[in-house]
Structure 1
């Protein structure tokens, strides 16, 4: 009887040991699978959440990074996802990013918006900043000269050195060119030198350094320059201002989920008061914009033969 009980206990112990081993193995596999699944989920979430935003270069890289930081932090909190801002080296690069779908959104000028469309980018305007000084989502292009310059009118620019921002700049080229053309002035023939520094800040600096006689820029950028102790009414003046120009749009890919686009609209419309716009505008928040808001700019490009068809 004693031997029988020992055999029974031994078999029971062996059975329990086997059951325990199988249970432990199952738990280990389950935990491993769950950990893998959770990691894959986190990786997928990170990839899905990261929002890439391209930005047109308008100021020095350091200054623009400073301006971007508050909006970056705000958007990450408002959207609950990672946001990555990328400052383009020039106007063309930010358009390239949109066309090649390397960014989900981009802050560009109106001209760059149409250049992107012509190259096949599937984008649409989302919002634009409200100018602090006009109270509207528009601003004015301008041509600035030194305070003591003999230049009084656009005609006086003939034979002078003039700096435009870029051929892709709305206020730094398109609008001034339209005004000059209307007066029969052709920069390539009538100016002794035409320069394209690439950003508003670099363009304005050329006037400060005496390298040119006049610069094409815009009023918001001119005001910003004054705030950092550079161009000021004491040493510079405006000889020409344009009609209202629709502000630079924040473009969004049409391929983004509709719900995310709605979240983005809500986030921009509720930006904290006093937040500086990321391209230099003294902004008073953002407002929704649509493609038709920029139709006048495209019509002007066609009139000046600057669209892709006219350029061929």
Structure 2
């Protein structure tokens, strides 16, 4: 039995700080009915094309595979076909897969969505997770420092070691960069060291290990870290957090059959209560999203690029 989550009817409100067997013939032996039914189910899956879904890396491989398994099993049951989740080694790889049409869907950040479009990928947003804490399909980016750090403002980051997730990360780079740029701070010029570990988990671990003075991440990832006893309120604090940012979209190829896209929407909107989001967000189900929901992120991205070009 699947419990239908309430649909979020209102649009995503963004206030960005800068402007983001087939049944085998009847058998004569009654005991074979169960086996025949199971074989029919397997044959039905084999007769359909495998649905390939790429996922950007946010946690360790083992942790992400654990989070993906329940959704994988649920989708296979609902869609009645094989679903193959593939975790990319980095943000660029999942975009490459979309462009090269090696996958049918992808769970990416907003920045990766626009990078894929720029490279010719024919994709569109399908759904996004509803944040458990906001009750909306948005979250906040953040910069985290040690609890006893003398760093009290963004200006205090000058001369310090700072880790960003990836230049393709919305919360782990774009949003913090926008806030820093607004204050005239240029990471490459003003920070003692700029590091890109590649995932939110690896980035946050650098602060735990004392390898950097501050890290760029997001509130959901920070909360997840606290739940496993790592970055806790006793040893860390939020230096800065952004205005609402639209959650990572699940992109779908426009070349998929319309009926399959319709089935995917139905399946995601009716995910069982309590199912964990596959990149670590504490989610309360999914809601439909459209391209225009992410327009402010693209506007911010373009503006930062223009500012960068003008400064050269």
Scaled by the length of structure 1, the TM-score of the pair is 0.84
Question: What does residue 70 of structure 1 align with?
Answer: 70
Q: CA deviation at 1:177?
A: 0.1
Q: CA deviation at 1:97?
A: 0.3
Question: What does residue 276 of structure 1 align with?
Answer: 276
Question: What does residue 136 of structure 1 align with?
Answer: 136
Question: What does residue 168 of structure 1 align with?
Answer: 168
Question: What does residue 205 of structure 1 align with?
Answer: 205
In the TM superposition, what are the counterparts of 1:115-130 in structure 2 within 5 Å? Answer: 115-130=115-130
Distance in 1 of aligned mates of 2:242 and 2:118 = 26
Deviations 1:168-220 (A, max 9, x none): 00000000000000000000000000000000000000000000000000000
Q: Are residues 1:184 and 2:184 paired?
A: yes
Kindly report the root-mean-square deviation, in angstroms, between the aligned alpha carbons of the 2 structures: 1.6
Q: How many residues align?
A: 268
DSSP-derived class of the 2:299 partner:
helix
Distance in 2 of aligned mates of 1:49 and 1:70 = 21
**Which structure ranks higher in relative contact order (CA pairs < 8 Å, sequence separation ≥ 6)?**
2
- Check the 8 A contact 2:44/2:80 in 1, yes or no: no
Larger Rg: 1
Distance in 1 of aligned mates of 2:68 and 2:140 = 23
Q: Are residues 1:195 and 2:195 paired?
A: yes
Which structure 2 segments of 5+ residues have no match?
Answer: 1-41
Question: What does residue 235 of structure 2 align with?
Answer: 235
Question: What does residue 8 of structure 2 align with?
Answer: none
Scaled by the length of structure 2, the TM-score of the pair is 0.84
Which structure 1 segments of 5+ residues have no match?
Answer: 1-41
Distance in 2 of aligned mates of 1:305 and 1:188 = 15
- Check the 8 A contact 2:161/2:191 in 1, yes or no: yes
- Check the 8 A contact 2:105/2:252 in 1, yes or no: yes
Distance in 1 of aligned mates of 2:47 and 2:170 = 34
Distance in 2 of aligned mates of 1:296 and 1:45 = 40
Distance in 1 of aligned mates of 2:162 and 2:153 = 13
Distance in 1 of aligned mates of 2:293 and 2:48 = 31
DSSP-derived class of the 2:97 partner:
helix
In the TM superposition, what are the counterparts of 1:74-89 in structure 2 within 5 Å? Answer: 74-89=74-89
DSSP-derived class of the 1:48 partner:
coil
Distance in 2 of aligned mates of 1:220 and 1:273 = 18
Question: What does residue 149 of structure 1 align with?
Answer: 149
Q: CA deviation at 1:46?
A: 2.5
> Structure 1 273/119 Cα, relative in aligned 2: closer, same or farther at 3 Å?
same
Distance in 2 of aligned mates of 1:235 and 1:117 = 40
Question: What does residue 247 of structure 2 align with?
Answer: 247
Distance in 1 of aligned mates of 2:96 and 2:122 = 12
Q: CA deviation at 1:49?
A: 3.1
DSSP-derived class of the 1:237 partner:
strand
Question: What does residue 224 of structure 2 align with?
Answer: 224
Question: What does residue 24 of structure 2 align with?
Answer: none
Question: What does residue 14 of structure 1 align with?
Answer: none
DSSP-derived class of the 1:151 partner:
coil
- Check the 8 A contact 2:59/2:280 in 1, yes or no: yes
